[in-house]
Amino acid sequence: MAYLANTFHKRVGELVGKPDPHENIVVSVHLKDGKNSKENFDSVVSFAHDNALAVDHINEEGHLLKLSGTVADFENAFKIKLNHLKHPKGYIYRHYDGSISAPLKWKGVVGGIFGLNTKFRARSYHRVQPRDWDGGYFPNEVSKAYNFPTADGEGKTIAIVELGGGYNESDNNAYASKLNLPSIKISSISVDKGANSPTNDPDSADGEVALDIQVVYAIAPKTNILVYFAPNSDQGFMDAVTAAATANPKPEAISISWGGPEDSWSKGALNSFNEILQRCSKNGINVTVAAGDNGSSDGEQGINVDFPGSSPYVISCGGTKLTLNKDESIHSEVVWNDSDGGATGGGISKVFPRPSYQNNVVKKFRGVPDLSGNASPTTGYKIIIDGIQTVVGGTSAVAPLVAAYLVLVDVHGDIHDIIYKNEEVFNDIVEGNNGQYKARKGWDECTGLGSIKGMKLKEILEKK
């Protein structure tokens, strides 16, 4: 037997007991890139059968198998002991100490085994203002300021990943009426028993879900919006992105407004997730990801960047504070950094080497973000959450904003090389800071290349 050391999870919280040994659970096995041959799938299937585990699902394109069995069966199969811990934030989660024991022939083949540990992995990056629409803008006002194309996205699809909360049809209908737009085209998709479950609390994850949906809808109103709901765990997060990336037909873009500091991820989870994102890029799916709302520290000690926003295979989206003139043209745009502690994430990865497209802007490691857009809650987006009209900000808004733009310009394939060779198609942000880093001419760790000049970037992308 070999040890999958990269599946180690740090213990966080108080031991409160053990799960019922007869409880049935589902675990995801992710194969490494290039290792999804029939022989490798058969190896996992054979192991499952030999250890009283059922094979519930095989996604060859997504390099994913799902196994089910009792707690006791999984403990016996992988030579681990599962416990329940109470996290300092109050929730109970399943955990194992040490590393999983697996067959020697899985070495270099299996990227990770996820679902045995159920610790919450990510946080959403939205910030809700007091309950009114003062000071904010509708998303289509922001897109007009950035000179986005006036297409409606008909026939295109955007996938949105959510790790909690839900939406109300009544909110979407009210929003459509307010903007005088056609009815929203939206479907919710369950992953790992996740579900569209609105809490009726605007300050909950409902705010994230509403923000993501309504930003996309206001900018590209005829786009098909697929919302993938999954549990907030390594397994749920990765399985949701895998499901979106392998859907038929494939989405033109995937929007993610959740994440966590790089050092909060296990090595196995981070590497497996990054391979999923790499496959998205190879398959022509642009994944837009919020860079974080807690400045250069990402809410921890020192300086940190947020994953998956730090993956070299995503379009990492930072935040600005955008002020418009009465004619909806740009009056000013600076780095988002508010007095309440909210500020755009950004910095230098401690994990991922510099990608080739950043050869001229950073030294050794991936720089975050790639670009930016309006994110300050004081100039945020007018949204309806659980029947309440409010203004919402955060880099959470920028991920769906950019995803909607990519649908409007009908782009296919990774855009990193193009944007870094054409910095003139961005509004360069040269004022402000996110804590450790200051804005400067050209790319910087606060706002990347800057905010999109919509039609100018469209012209460049069309020449690709």
Which residues have a catalytic role annotated?
208, 212, 396
Please give the full DSSP string across 89-152, using - where no structure is assigned: TS-EEEEE-S-EEE-GGGTTTEEEEESS------EE--EEPSSS-TT-B-HHHHHHHTT-----
Could you tell me which of 392, 405, 341, 406 has the C-alpha nearest to residue 208?
392
Could you tell me which of 263, 237, 427 has the C-alpha nearest to residue 347?
263
Contact (CB, 8 A) for 207 and 198: no
What type of residue sits at position 366? Answer: R
The sheet carrying 381-385 orders its strands as 127-128, 388-393, 381-385
Please give the full DSSP string across 349-406, using - where no structure is assigned: EEEEEPPGGGTTT-SSEEEE-SEEEE--GGG-EEEEETTEEEEEESGGGHHHHHHHHH
Residue 264 neighbours by CB under 8 Å, 6+ apart: 121
Contact (CB, 8 A) for 14 and 89: no
Residue located via tokens 């295109």: 156
Contact (CB, 8 A) for 113 and 418: no
CB atoms within 10 A of CB 36: 19
What type of residue sits at position 46? Answer: S
List of E strands, 249-314 = 253-256, 258-261, 286-290, 306-307
Contact (CB, 8 A) for 342 and 310: no
Q: How far is CA 301 from the centre of its chain?
A: 23
Query: Rounded to whole angstroms, how far apart are CA atoms 262 and 297?
Result: 11
